[in-house]
Amino acid sequence: MRHISVDPPPFFNRGPSPLTRLAFFGLVSLALLFTDTRYRYLENIRQVVAIALYPVQRAVQLPGEAAAWVGSYFASQRALANDNAQLKARMLNDASAIQSHPLLEQENARLRALLAMAARFPDAAIAAEVLYSGRDPFTQKLFVDKGDVAGVQIGQAVIDEIGVVGQVTRVFPYMSEVTLVTDKDHAVPVRVERSGVRSVMYGAGTGRLPELRFLSPNAEIQPGDRLVTSGIDGTYPAGLAVAQVASVERETGQMFARVSCKPLAGVDASAQVLILGSGAAAMPRPEEPAEADAPRKGRNRRKG
Amino acid sequence: MAQLALTAARPEEILLPAKPWFVLFTLFAGLAANMLPLSGMALLLRPDCLALILLFWCIREPRMIGVGIAWSLGLLMDVADGTVFGQHALAYAVLAYAAEYFRRRVLRFPLWQQAAQVAVLLLLCAALVALVRIVGGAPLPRWSYAVGSLTGALLWPPITVLLQWPQRPTRSTAEI
């Protein structure tokens, strides 16, 4: 069966020429690109292929996980003792807060009942582990190990122990994709903790700091201010830490101040995250009043 | 024999035909390598292993691996990366075509000069991906975006030696 590998003379070539094939597949790719960006018809196909790829992804992660496990198993006694001491100190520190917490919670519940408000944090939160950060250099994404099967839904907020990490944007059966707050044009409604100024923080993409747009130059904000979620979007519960203001540039010639912020949560570093339940149902978007349409139509008519 | 392992096949050396299962296995390994959970510096330096191995087989076995297979692998890559459908597919299809177009020229050169040409092809592939994203509204990537292609080109000589290994005849020329 051993035969020498040689190119056949061109007249033995069968099938369409490479250029034809390239043109065909190129056009199909362009069509796919268009359909996938404009309409989201292809999500089902994506799901199926993702399930097929899942075992490979897990297999690839095994060596790293095994190494981490072995490493943690052989963690030195001293490191553990250190950790233990630190944790004890922290516990002591937090003791007073923890002890008063049930009391506050009760009081809070009473007050909320009085105000007939929904609980701020839905209780169904899902702890998830970060599988890997997205490899696409153009977007800021994270893949976590809980998906459809665990009850994750698109749009749920993802936090870590410090603050907001991002939002679930795509759900596969066994994993889901989280778009980070640093992703380009990812918007988080925030409030300056100190002064209460409301704004929206926009991600600026890989390697750039998120910014607050459309804040007037005299807005009550200064470097070092903490930004917390304002909760008016219905996605992020109010009061979660998001970022710290890194710099504020107020130029008299500009309409708006340039405010850049540094995310607080380990957006790139956290290994465990919490996917908050979407139980705190957002207020339904108010119906557009019918009158709003009328003037626009009138204007059009006037133009035409 | 030991010497055989360290160098690439000489042009006059006649290689055994590549086994289809081996080709598929290496492509699959490339895909798996692309899915490695890396971060930080490793992610920056990470070459597109699948593109590299695909390029190798497109150049060496053009009758087995061509535009069609490259395109399908690109689709798989798009799903694995969670990117827009067709982005890697388009880039890999063009890469396969370029490989087919340039393969005779590339094979005339010694390995390290081949690596330079491979760098250009891999950069072309990366640039296509970037172009698709920029048209889609992404910001310009930073210069470090090109680093992966260059690491890929540096890996070309070892990859060639490694992937050619099963094709080398077991008998040395002296015996014949």
By Cβ distance, the residue of A28, A37, A53 closest to B84 is A37
Phi and psi at residue B81, to the nearest 5°: -85, -15
Beta bridge partners of A176: A144, A171
Q: Which of A228-242, A263-277, B62-76 has the lowest mean pLDDT?
A: A263-277
Residue A80: pLDDT above 70?
yes
Quick one: average pLDDT of A134-157?
84
Nearest residue in B to A132, CA atom: B37
How many CB atoms within 10 Å of residue A51?
Answer: 13
Identity of the residue in A37, A49, A268 whose CB atom sits nearest the CB atom of B79: A49
- Among chain A residues, CA nearest to B28: A56
Instruction: Quote the ipTM score.
Output: 0.81
Whether pLDDT at A200 is above 80:
yes
Report the C-alpha gap between A83 and A287 in whole angstroms. Answer: 54
Strand A157-159 to A272-275 pairing: antiparallel
Interface membership of B79 toward A (CB under 8 Å) = yes
Distance from CA of A188 to the nearest CA of B (A): 19
Residue A299 has pLDDT above 80, yes or no: no
The closest of B141, B142, B115, B127 to B59, measured between CA atoms, is B115
Q: How far apart are CA B109 and CA B104, in angstroms?
A: 9
List, in order, residues 6 or more apart from A33 with CB less than 8 Å away.
B84, B85, B86, B87, B90, B132, B136
- Cα within 13 Å of Cα(A75), Cβ side: 11
Q: Outline where DSSP puts E strands in chain A.
A: 126-133, 141-144, 157-159, 164-171, 176-180, 187-192, 198-202, 211-215, 226-229, 241-249, 257-263, 272-275
> Concatenated DSSP letters for B106-126?
HHTS-HHHHHHHHHHHHHHHH
Please give the DSSP secondary-structure letter assigned to residue A279.
Answer: T
The residue among A44 and A303 whose pLDDT is bigger is: A44
pLDDT-derived band of residue A289, with 50, 70 and 90 as boundaries?
low
**Quick check: B75 contacting A, CB < 8 Å?**
yes
Residue B166 DSSP one-character state = G
Least Cα distance to B99 among B142, B143, B61, B146 occurs for B61
pLDDT tens digits, residue range A10-59?
556 567 788 888 999 999 999 988 888 777 777 888 888 888 888 888 88
* Residue B164 in contact with partner chain A when CB distance is under 8 A: no
| Token digits of residue A236 | 């992020």
DSSP state of A274: E
| CA closest to B133 among chain A residues | A138
Measured between CA atoms, the residue of chain B closest to residue A5 is: B17
pTM confidence score: 0.71
pLDDT in tens, B47-94: 899 999 999 999 998 888 889 999 999 999 888 887 888 889 999 999
Q: Read off the pLDDT of residues B136-164 as tens digits, 9 standing for 90 and up.
A: 777 788 888 889 899 999 999 999 999 98
According to the model, what pLDDT value does residue B123 have?
94
Phi, psi of A250 (to 5 degrees): -115, 105
Domain boundaries, chain A: 119-279
> Could you say which of 1.20.1250.20, 2.40.10.340, 3.30.9.10, 3.30.160.270 is the CATH number of the domain covering A119-279?
2.40.10.340
With CB atoms and an 8 Å threshold, state whether A60 touches B46: no
The rounded mean pLDDT for chain A is: 79
User: Which pLDDT does position A133 carry in this prediction?
Assistant: 77
Please report, for residues A199, A225, B91, the alpha-carbon distance to residue A191 in angstroms, rounded to integers and kept in the order given: 6, 10, 43
pLDDT for B173: 54
Q: In angstroms, what separates the C-alpha of A223 from chain B's closest C-alpha?
A: 26
Cα–Cα distance between A147 and B89 in angstroms, integer? 26
Does residue A135 belong to the interface with chain B, where contact is any CB pair within 8 Å?
yes
Say which of B32, B89, B97 has its CB closest to residue A18. Answer: B97
Assess A17–B contact: CB distance below 8 Å, yes or no: no
Residues of chain B positioned with their CB less than 8 A from the CB of A135: 34, 38, 43, 46, 81
The 10s digit of each residue's pLDDT in B93-141 is 999 999 999 988 998 888 889 999 999 999 999 999 999 888 877 778 8
Q: Identify the residue among B23, B69, B85, B143 best suited for mutation to test binding to A, counting A beta carbons within 10 A and taking the highest.
A: B85
Supply the mean pLDDT for chain B: 85
- The backbone torsions φ and ψ at residue B25, rounded to the nearest 5 degrees and listed phi first, read -60, -45
Considering only residues A282 and A27, tell me which one the structure prediction assigns the higher pLDDT: A27
A149 touches chain B (CB under 8 A): no
Whether residue A123 is predicted with pLDDT greater than 80 in this model: the reply is: no
Q: Quick one: average pLDDT of A239-267?
A: 85
Does the CB of B138 have a partner CB in chain A at under 8 Å?
A: yes
Cβ contacts of B101 on chain A, cutoff 8 Å: 18
Question: CB of B48 within 8 A of CB of B33?
Answer: no
Selecting from A2, A18, A137 the residue whose C-beta is nearest the C-beta of B67 gives A18
CA A146 to centroid of chain Cα atoms: 14
Give the mean model confidence (pLDDT) for residues A99-124.
Answer: 70
A44 touches chain B (CB under 8 A): no
Query: Rounded to a whole number, what is the distance in Å from the CA of A229 to chain B's nearest CA?
Result: 26
Contact B159, B54 (CB under 8 A): no
Which of A13, A17, A19, A25 to mutate to test binding with chain B, by most B CBs within 10 Å of its CB? A25
What pLDDT score does B159 carry? 92
Contact A121, A112 (CB under 8 A): no
Choose, out of A45, A132, A136, the residue to mutate when testing the contact with B (most B CBs < 10 Å). A136
Q: Does B107 touch chain A (CB under 8 A)?
A: no
Calculate mean pLDDT across residues B13-30: 88
Does B116 reach chain A within 8 Å, measured CB to CB? no
Q: What integer pLDDT is reported at residue A300 of this predicted model?
A: 44
Extents of the domains making up chain B: 19-167
